[in-house]
Amino acid sequence: MASKTVIVGSTVGLHARPASLVAQAAAEYDDDITLRLTDMDVDDAVDAGSSMMIMTLGAENGDEVIVESDNEEAVEAIAALIEKNLDE
């Protein structure tokens, strides 16, 4: 399984608009992609394809998020999005 830890770049964290953009990008892949905060158990990871589930993380600007999937390309793409300020 591919995994990458990134820092949330959006000034409002992974809330409405940023979560929606991440979920849309994740939906382009057939593989499961999960997100979790670094202090969360693996079993508590959420589906990156669901903006509602992403928002339940409560990830704020500067928080570390782990992106995981069997698809390394998907991990890199979603991680790159999370690092950006998607509020602009």
Q: What residues are labeled active site?
A: 15
Q: CB within 8 A of 87, min separation 6: which ones?
A: 10, 11, 12, 17, 18
Residue appearing with tokens 């409560």: 58
* Residue 6, token pair as written in the block: 């990134």
